[in-house]
Each structure stands twice: as structure tokens, then as C-alpha cells.
Structure 1
């Protein structure tokens, strides 16, 4: 690709966002007569971004009117994840050259990626800024800036979430814009394999999971081209996206297989210890779980890039739970304490309250009754705070978690009361939306089993198995049916 200046020629730089396989082709002036420009490009090409910044900064000092130098330094800052500095440099590049299409594309990507910084708020406004920049790049160079179409499509995707159905007309319109941008990308460059994965992401977020699978398969059929053009990490991103889609389709074996490929292709990916963990927990593949957690925890403890990783608490807690299920209680206790001391805020896949509950369960397994009661009481208080929430999902989770604590403390009447409250919150039952209804029936069955009331226990457990089946949760249904067949439900308490 060429930028508009006849005096410049461009080379390619790649920036990858793993979770959604995002790539931008960034352009750097290589015909500059200034040595700092050439030296900066050389260092950038070798991945020495700090040295590249020093050379570009020296070049700017001697030639402050060169927009390409600011754009190039912005690329180096972007690689170092210093997005504010990158944005500042792109701003200056565009101030010097208002028709610099590539700088608009790069600034749009920097806006997009900046939303991944912990503590970032007003993400929708930032995505809007990214869309404006990609749109400007397209207007300036509609045939050459194929990446702007692709990146804008991925940015549109962020407004689409199937769990927010029914969609407004505005969201449906955004969904159509995303699909249109990916189609335009492929029309301009039929070999842009990642655009198929982009379409897959759009369909996934819209809830069209079978169609999403078809698009991911198209991308993976071109896996050699993806590796050649964008690298193994990009291919890992595609497998990660398809694996997540298989979770929605409740095809856990296929999902687990894809997450194994992610582990092989990109050891730095956080996906196997995130969504992948939920799959391997259900499949009881504890060896793969330990492998995934060990890799991410090694990065957390030894790689400076992961010092602000938002999943620190989740990773320690996940490995602790795996150790607990394997009966390695000392290791589980050590990891639960690391999770609590990590300072991680509650978020997707991580609950401080659940850490206290499982730490209590682990202490019970080691015979430390007083320590167990202390942790379970902490959990009961925290779950109680959630039961007052006006958000049904949060309140339901509060009752469910607290009920589980009551079981561990053998206070069965309290447990029954909490699980019945969960049922009430999830009535009438919507198989596509409600997660707690079937679980509440299962939990009530387990309480009555503990109390020795087998007829009532079997009634609730059979009802739960049917509800799981109606919801497409075939693995949970199978586990329950097998337990009912053998009469051994002890493992269900874990």
C-alpha cells in the first residue's frame, strides 16, 4: 500500500488483539533521507520498540513537520501498549497532515485497544471515536484502506451482545453495518481470511451460533494463509473465537479441542484459562486445566506485561478450585490466599465471595472446622449483600451461593429457604435466559438427599435433569442422570 505522498513508501506492521483476532496493517515511511527515520524503522522491524522511539524522537527534533515520524512513533508506543502516547502522536501526525488516511486507521485502532486497559470507563464513547477514525480513513482512501473496513466491523461488533435480546432497531442496524464491513473487506481483498472470523464474531454476538460456526470454519480452512500473513497468534485468536461459539452450542468436546490448539499456538493467550477453564471444568479434564493455569500464572509472576492483568485473581482461584477437586488441599489453600491478596476486583469469572466459600470447603476437607466456619461466614455475609440487588441475576446468584454455604454448615432449612427464593426469582422459566432455575432444583434435591428424604430428593433431581436437557445443557443433564442411576450423588456437591 502507498500513502498519498509521492516521496514515501510504506512497510507493514501488525497489531493483534487475541480475543477477536484483530489486525491492522500500519504504514511507515521508508524513503526518508534522515538516518533516524531509517534507524527507527530498522529497530521497529526487529521488535526493539523502545530503541525505535528514541530514533523517531531524534528525527522529530530535527524535522518536526514530518507527519510520518509522529505516526511511526505512535506505532511503536502502540506496540508497547502505551495507548495515550500513541494517540497523542497520531493526533500530531493528523494535525500536520489532515489527509493522512493510515494515521486515521492507526488512531482508530489505538482508541479501540485502549478500552482493554483496566479501569477504562465510557467504552461506548471510545468505540465511537474509533468508528469515526476508521470512517475518515475509508473516505480518504476507500480502495486501499481495507483494514479500516475490517477494524470498523470489529468495533461495530462491540455493541452486539446476544444476552441483551431483544435487540433495539439501533443494535440491529449496527449488526448489519458490521456484516457489511466484513463483506466489503473480502470484496477488496478475497484473501483477507480474518474477515471470515470477524463475521463469525458478529453472528456469535447476535446469537446465530450455527452461522457463526460456518464463518469460523471458512477462516480456519485458510489457516496456513493466516499464519503466513498474520502469524500463529492470529490463528490462535480464530480458534479461541470458535471455541467460545462451541460453548454457546453446548459442544464442549469441540470447544475443548479448540482451546487445546490455542494453548499450542499462543502460550501467552488468556483464553484457555478464561472461557476454556469453564469447558474443562465441565469435562473434568483437570490435567488440561492445571496446564492452562500454570502457563498464565507463570506469566503473571514473571512477565512485566502481565502485572496489571485483570485476571490475576481469577487465575489463582481457578487453579485452587482444580487442586481442591483433585484433593490437593494444601496447594488449593495457598492459591486461594493468593487470589484474595491479589487485590483483584470482582468481575467476569471471578468472585471474591466464591473464593471465601471454596476456601471454607477446602478447610472442611482438611478437618479445620473453625477456619472453615470463619470463611463460610464471610461468604454468607457477602452473598447476603447480593440478595438485595434489584438485578435478578445478581440476587439469584446471591441466594444460590449462600444456600451452598448453608449446606456445608449443615444448616439445611436455611439452604432450602435460599434455593426456594432462587426458584421464585426465576419463575416463569425461560430456558434460553435463566441459568439458576434448573440449578435450584438440583440444589434442593441435594439438600433433601443430605437430610435423608430420598423421595423428595429424587423428585427435584429428576426435574433438574429435565430442565437442563430442555435448556440444551446436555452435560449437566447426563451427569445428573448417571448420579440418579447409581444412587451416588456425592460428586454433585463439588
Structure 2
């Protein structure tokens, strides 16, 4: 799950109840029952703090931060409760600024709220407003806070595959070179920009950071998918397989992307028997995820992955059917992770037709994919599609 980083306030002297709320928030997560319970307890405590002291901006801020953890545009369309949380969080951050006009991280929090809601342009406006006071934020909240805001703005740009995301990730890395979120995202952005040496370097650092974490996030395993792409680019196939197996060990479900990548590595090593074994396993994993969807991998992404597996196996007609299904059901305006699947499905159909020898149909699909990428301003996607035209 790709999420912006929220700046957390410090404990307040003499505010024991508020500090207890902070502790619950830090234990919270919207992805586990225990984590959800902690977030709800944090919100309940911040409510009590606000009831006792209407002039305490930190409590409004943290209540808003805790509330938006339940929002993510992947879950659209939102229900009434999620829409309410969106509105109430914005009100909390506005209240913070009414109480303390110098509470500049509240602007970044509003940016995070709009990002999670799916309004990326509006999110960038608020990140811009926060970063107008970068020096003040650094002085009061520290370099990690500044890194979080640069990362979050970069993430908003990355939602629509903008080249500008790289610049913000680099600034985030400058202020916090140890953040696994920064390392994972900058390595992916470098990869998409074709800056392979830098991508490889950052991917190695991101894997190291993930391995050193005691409490891993559900999506941390994807660092191994990124470094695998770099391993393949530099023909380090054995290392590729080893890292992907490590990723498979910590993944919260059997992600067919990992199995596909292992199969590709074996195929490139000339071991077709092992390649086919993993391709077949990937197809089984896709079939299972289509029957029993996982919130970390929406069904339209599964069809796309299965299409890629089938294409590796030379079954282009079936691959095209899966890519067509991807285009049919993927959201028009929202990406997943670092991919806009309606565009990617069209591009992949074009690749399949190219491999079948139907260049005219392929170019027709590449043109359609490019048109969609241009309409949505998907710069990295445009770069990739143009390589096939």
C-alpha cells in the first residue's frame, strides 16, 4: 500500500492523556484488527483531550492524522463513514491553523488527506504551502519531518507518474537517507526513469533497510521485486532468484509477481524446466486471487500479471484476453502502486500482438495507450510506450 508519511507530533509535557493517545497511534495500522483497535483508541483519547481543552492544537492535529489512516483511494467508492472522516480531518487541520498559524505541518497533513482521497493536484498545492516554510519546519519538527513532506509530495507526483517525483524523493533522501519508504520509492522512480545504476544502488539500500526492520509493513516485500528488476537488467540472475525467494518469505500472500519474476530469471538462464514450473505456479496464484481477492492486489492487477505470465509462455491469445480484462475493469483515474493499469493493459496488448507478428494491430494499441497516458499526464508511462512505437 503506497501511502504518504504523516509527521507525528512530540509528546507534550504534563499531557499524560494526550501522550497515551500518541502511543496508541504509533501502534496503529488500518491493515490489522489490532492496529485498527489502536487507532480507534487513539481517536477516542484525542476526543477526550479536545473536550477538556479546546485550545490544544496538537490534539486536533493528531485526531486528524489518526482519522485519515482509514482513507485510501484504493477503496473507492468511499462509504459515508469514510467521506465523513475525510471532511472531519480537514476541519481538524483547519482548526489547528486557527489556533496556531505557525503549525505548518498541518498544511502537509491536508496534503496527505487529499492524497489519500485521490485528489493529487489538490494534495500538491498543500505540500507546496507547507514547503514554503521548510526552514521553520526543519527547526521546529526536525529533518525527518521535512523528509516526510518531500516524500509525500513526491508520492503525489508519482501517483500520476510524473518525472518531478524523482526530484522530491531525492530531497527526502537528503534529509532522511535511512527511511525505507524513501529508499523503496526512489529506487522505483529511478528505474522508471531509466537510471538503472542509481536504481540498483537505492534498491540494495532499501532491501537492507527492510531486512533490518523488526516490524515489517505488509508491502515491504515489494522491495525485492524492485531489486529483482535491477538484477535482471545487469544479468545477475542467481542473485535475482535468491532475493525474490526472500521476498516470498515475508510477503503476506503468494504474490504472482514474485513467481513470474523468478520464472523470467530461470528463462534467461536457459533453465526452461524451472521457468515453466514457476510460470505455472504464478498462474495458479493468479487464479486463486481472482477467486479470492486480496486488498493488496486488486483483481485487475492480477489479470495483468496473469497476462504477462501467459505471454512469457507464448500463449499470446490468452494473454491478450487477460490484458483486455485489465483495461475493462481497472479504474480510469487512479493508479495502483506505480502503474496505471488501463494504460498498461493497452500497452501489453500491443506487445503481445507484436510478438504474434501483427504490427498494425500492435501500433494501433500503442497509439491508444499513448493517447490515454498523454490525457492523464502519465510521463513515465509515455516514455515506456514510445519505446514500442
Q: For the structure 1 residues 106 and 394, does the alpha-carbon distance in structure 2 shift closer, same or farther, using more than 3 Å as the test?
A: same
Structure 1 counterpart SS, 2:11: strand
Question: Could you say which residue in structure 1 is the equivalent of 2:82?
Answer: 171
Choose 161-170 or 386-395, whichever is displaced more: 386-395
Cα pair 2:110 2:126 within 8 Å, conserved:
yes
- 1:456 pairs with 338, 346, 361, which one? 361
- 2:307 pairs with 400, 403, 413, which one? 403
Choose 364-373 or 273-282, whichever is displaced more: 273-282
- Under a length normalisation based on structure 1, what TM-score does the superposition of the two structures give? 0.70
Distance 2:369 2:46 in 1: 49
Cα pair 2:283 2:309 within 8 Å, conserved:
yes
- Under a length normalisation based on structure 2, what TM-score does the superposition of the two structures give? 0.87
Is 1:343 aligned to 2:256, yes or no?
no
Within-5 A mapping of 1:132-281: 132-143=44-55, 145-251=56-162, 253-281=163-191
Distance 2:268 2:210 in 1: 29
1:29-83 deviation per Cα after TM superposition (whole angstroms, max 9, x unaligned): xxxxxxxxxxxxxxxxxxxxxxxxxxxxxxxxxxxxxxxxxxxxxxxxxxxxxxx
Distance 2:302 2:108 in 1: 37
Question: Where in structure 1 are there 5+ consecutive unaligned residues?
Answer: 1-16, 29-101, 485-494
Structure 1 residue 171: deviation in Å? 3.3
Structure 2 counterpart SS, 1:20: coil
Q: For the structure 1 residues 18 and 397, does the alpha-carbon distance in structure 2 shift closer, same or farther, using more than 3 Å as the test?
A: closer
Within-5 A mapping of 1:387-398: 387-389=290-292, 394-398=298-302
1:357-413 deviation per Cα after TM superposition (whole angstroms, max 9, x unaligned): 111111111212222112111112111222334789733333321221122122223
Cα pair 2:350 2:361 within 8 Å, conserved:
yes
Question: Could you say which residue in structure 1 is the equivalent of 2:380?
Answer: 475
Question: Could you say which residue in structure 2 is the equivalent of 1:127?
Answer: 39
Cα pair 2:29 2:35 within 8 Å, conserved:
no
Is 1:417 aligned to 2:324, yes or no?
no
Cα pair 1:273 1:289 within 8 Å, conserved:
no
Distance 2:20 2:130 in 1: 27
Question: Could you say which residue in structure 2 is the equivalent of 1:432?
Answer: 333
Structure 1 residue 133: deviation in Å? 0.8
Structure 1 residue 122: deviation in Å? 5.6
- 2:214 pairs with 285, 304, 307, which one? 307
Is 1:320 aligned to 2:228, yes or no?
yes
Structure 2 counterpart SS, 1:267: coil
- 2:200 pairs with 267, 290, 306, which one? 290
Q: For the structure 1 residues 164 and 408, does the alpha-carbon distance in structure 2 shift closer, same or farther, using more than 3 Å as the test?
A: closer
Distance 1:126 1:173 in 2: 20
Question: Where in structure 2 are there 5+ consecutive unaligned residues?
Answer: none
RMSD: 2.8
Structure number, greater radius of gyration: 1
The number of aligned residues is 381
